[in-house]
């Protein structure tokens, strides 16, 4: 069923990620919401460049000559690597915060400590 199903999935994933980032109180759950938002944007970029009946844009033993657009795939490669870098930094911050304050609840981490 090719009737706009990827774009509806993008809308649902964006709303789930937005609700998780705004309403949860645990740092690890906020990080999961950020990852879901990343996946929604990557899916939107990929599904903008699809041609009906096309194959992957590689000329080594390809089945046919009709190919999908290669430019959105290059942008999504960059976006996935930046998502990995963001997750690594937030996890390191969560580890140090747990060692200093004893909790990962953002309502109880309020003052800067020397």
Which residues in this chain contact other proteins in the complex, by CB under 8 A? 2-8, 10-11, 14-15, 18-19, 23, 47-52, 56-62, 65, 67, 69-71, 73-75, 77-78, 81-82, 84-86, 88-89, 91-93, 95-96, 99
Residue closest to 86 by CA, chosen among 48, 52, 36: 36
Cβ 64 to other proteins shortest distance, Å: 9
- What distance in Å separates the CA atoms of residue 69 and residue 51, rounded to the nearest whole number? 8
- What distance in Å separates the CA atoms of residue 63 and residue 41, rounded to the nearest whole number? 30
Cβ 90 to other proteins shortest distance, Å: 9
Cβ 110 to other proteins shortest distance, Å: 21
Q: Do the beta carbons of residue 38 and residue 97 sit within 8 Å?
A: no
């Amino acid at each position: 069923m090719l009737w706009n199903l990827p774009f509806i999935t993008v809308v649902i994933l964006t709303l789930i990620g937005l609700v998780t980032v705004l309403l949860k109180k645990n740092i690890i759950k906020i990080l999961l919401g950020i990852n879901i938002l990343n996946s929604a944007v990557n899916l939107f970029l990929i599904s903008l460049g699809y041609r009906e009946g096309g194959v992957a844009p590689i000329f080594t033993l390809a089945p046919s000559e009709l190919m999908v657009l290669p430019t959105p795939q290059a942008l999504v490669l960059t976006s996935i690597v930046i998502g990995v870098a963001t997750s690594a930094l937030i996890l390191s911050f969560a580890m140090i915060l747990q060692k200093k304050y004893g909790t990962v609840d953002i309502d109880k981490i309020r003052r800067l400590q020397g």
